Amino acid sequence: MALRRMGIILALLAIATLLSPAVSARFISLPTYHLPITTPPLADGLAFDLYSDSCPQLETTVRSAVQAALQQEIALAAGLLRIFFHDCFPQGCDASLLLTGANSEQQLPPNLTLQPRALQLIEDIRAQVHAACGPTVSCADITALATRDAIVASGGLPYDVPLGRLDSFAPAPSDAVFQLPQPTSDVSTLLSAFQTRNLDNVDLVALSGGHSIGRARCSSFSNRFREDDDFARRLAANCSNDGSRLQELDVTTPDVFDNKYYSNLVAGQGVFTSDQGLTGDWRTSWVVNGFAGNHWWFYGQFGSSMVKLGQLQGPSGNVGEIRRNSCFVPNSQTILAAAGDDGFTASA
């Protein structure tokens, strides 16, 4: 009788466990340090299906162009990702980085090493899209889509990109450009810069995962050469006093977008000070460990953080034009366009 009563009690406990989320969660294998991944409400003027009628072939056109380009040169993936980040971070994703001429962002030190071939790829895709659909899609939207497709082509998972950005009439202020994270930045500096853009510590660690692909000039991490550990000595030996030599940022799988970048950080093999520092600060180390142990969490969070980054807008919101003839509008002409000069039409 006692055994039967115990069996009934155990059965009731099992049922209660299944019906109670708080209890049952303890019996489900959850990712280490996993947090719910949420996407903020869409920013002003953005929508996921914006071009479904006006340019239904948009995403196919961009994807095909990116895949073809990466088959020829895989390094373009890192180039596109860096362009997207350097465009969005100063004053929002508005293709201001693509402006040329006097006082352009490309002339400032943080942007001097942007990939010319990746910049040209964005313009080549714009020409294809406008040939198919007319001037209905901005350079800013094309950059966002091309970056997503480059990440997927390199091994990442797809994520939906909200569209509807307009192209800026003027470059970002130089002081905003100089707020771009530097390879020598410490975690507090990085967190402060991200928080002013409504990006939190998880976003910081996820977006730093863009360094899973790409290479950097030795001059950008020469401060590491003075450190007394085996990895720093390997970096110094690889550079051999040549500041222009390139070093893979992910020393394990440099051309594959995956979570091995985080495993490298845990092992003390982050190339930049800004990367390796993420493991030594309690505000970010738990995210690094979580991503290193669960690639699905990293993939999901990276997509969510890219959507957040891609919705950054300037102080005036989503204002500008759709550049008709080229993404590389000279800055002097763009200023005239803002005053109503012929040839450039502002669009809402």
CA 49, CA 164: separation in Å to the nearest integer?
A: 9
Is 258 labeled as ligand-binding? yes
To the question of whether residue 253 is assigned a binding role by annotation, the answer is yes
Has 326 been labeled as part of a binding site?
no
As given in the structure block, the two tokens for residue 104 are 């352009």
Alpha carbon distances (Å) from 257 to 16, 196, 214, 288, 322: 42, 27, 10, 16, 31
- Residue 164: how many CB atoms within 10 A of its CB? 19
Q: What is the dihedral of CA 156, 162, 168, 172, to 10 degrees?
A: -50
Is 34 catalytic? The answer is: no
Cβ-in-10-Å burial (0-12, 13-18, 19+) of 261 comes to: buried
| 3-state class (DSSP) for residue 165 | coil
The amino acid at residue 290 is: G
Does residue 305 contact residue 203 with C-beta atoms inside 8 Å?
yes
Is 181 labelled a binding residue? yes
Residue 279, annotated ligand binder? no
**Active-site residue identified among 34, 86, 130, 295:** 86
- Residue 147 annotated as part of some ligand binding site: no
211 is in an annotated binding site: yes
| C-beta of residue 100 within 8 angstroms of C-beta of residue 330 | yes
173 known member of a binding site: no
345 among annotated binding-site residues: no
Q: How far apart are CA 194 and CA 203, in angstroms?
A: 8
Closest CA to 216 of 186, 184, 189: 184
Binding residues: 87, 92, 94, 96, 105, 181, 211, 250, 253, 258
Binding residues for heme b: 211
Binding residues for substrate: 181
Binding residues for Ca(2+): 87, 92, 94, 96, 105, 250, 253, 258
Which residues are annotated as catalytic? 86
